């Protein structure tokens, strides 16, 4: 069995069965290396960078810009996430505010930046409609192409909130799940820390804690 220039064993002596690279001595040296379509597809799926910002995939959502890797092929991240969902889901909303008790817990845990954090003296509640198939929680960033539906940029700005911190996902039954795609400081639902890329159901009254002091309360309005 031949070995390709990248070290893969190959049953073919013209192009590697694994990566599609031209085998040493296979074909004319003056000709370009043309890889069979099936081999190219295999290499692309193995790497799978984000089509928006090229960040390597770590879960369903890109941890930098929020692109949904499971969305239909050819869809843009902003288009996919802004399509309104019909019916009852538009009655849900997320109320963001500041939670002093949660902030005290974060400071007590003694993280590396705990000493530099301060609870905001004034933080009015903000309401965000939960419309569409996905509602991203995070902070706006023009350079990263991040424009979450629940934008916690402030003021005041919670220093512990990632650009893409968590995502609320609409289920087929009209309910919602929340998932943490890999935020720097984690996400809690009713005090329980979420596992990375594991959706957890949320219902009206549930409290989602992100960052150093932000709490997001889920509410369902009766039509």
Q: What is the pLDDT of residue 96?
A: 97
Q: How does residue 164 score in pLDDT terms, banded at 50, 70 and 90? A: very high
Residue 125 has pLDDT above 90, yes or no: yes
At 81 the pLDDT is: 42
Domain at 88-220, CATH class: mainly beta
Model confidence pLDDT, tens digit, residues 181-215: 999 899 999 999 999 999 999 999 999 999 999 99
Pair of tokens at residue 81 = 């996430």
Q: Say how far apart CA 133 and CA 179 lie, in whole Å.
A: 13
pLDDT, tens digit (0-9, with 9 covering 90-100), for 16-35: 444 445 556 543 333 233 33
pLDDT in tens, 32-82: 333 333 333 333 345 578 766 667 777 777 766 677 777 665 444 433 444
Residue 142's pLDDT is 84
Write down the pLDDT at residue 180: 96
Tell me the whole-structure pTM to 2 decimals: 0.63
* Distance, CA of 133 to CA of 81 (rounded, Å): 6
Residue 67 makes CB contacts below 8 A (sequence gap 6+) with 50, 51, 52, 53, 61, 77
């Amino acid at each position: 069995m031949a070995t390709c220039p990248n070290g893969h064993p190959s049953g073919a002596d013209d192009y590697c069965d694994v990566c599609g690279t031209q085998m040493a001595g296979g074909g004319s040296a003056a000709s370009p290396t043309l890889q069979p379509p099936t081999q190219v597809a295999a290499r692309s799926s193995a790497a799978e960078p984000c089509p928006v910002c090229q960040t390597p995939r770590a879960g369903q959502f890109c941890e930098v810009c929020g692109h949904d890797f499971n969305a239909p092929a050819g869809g843009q991240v902003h288009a996919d996430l802004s399509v309104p969902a019909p019916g009852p889901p538009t009655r849900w909303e997320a109320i963001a505010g500041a939670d002093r008790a949660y902030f005290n817990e974060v400071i007590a845990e003694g993280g590396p930046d705990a000493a530099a954090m301060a609870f905001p003296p004034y933080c009015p509640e903000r309401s965000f409609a939960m419309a569409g198939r996905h509602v991203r929680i995070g902070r706006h960033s023009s350079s990263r192409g991040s424009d979450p539906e629940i934008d916690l940029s402030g003021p005041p700005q919670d220093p512990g909130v990632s650009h893409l911190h968590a995502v609320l996902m609409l289920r087929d039954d009209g309910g919602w799940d929340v998932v943490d795609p890999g935020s720097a400081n984690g996400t809690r639902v009713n005090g329980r820390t979420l596992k990375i890329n594991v959706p957890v159901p949320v219902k009206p009254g549930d409290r989602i804690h992100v960052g150093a002091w932000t709490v997001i309360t889920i509410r369902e309005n009766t039509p």
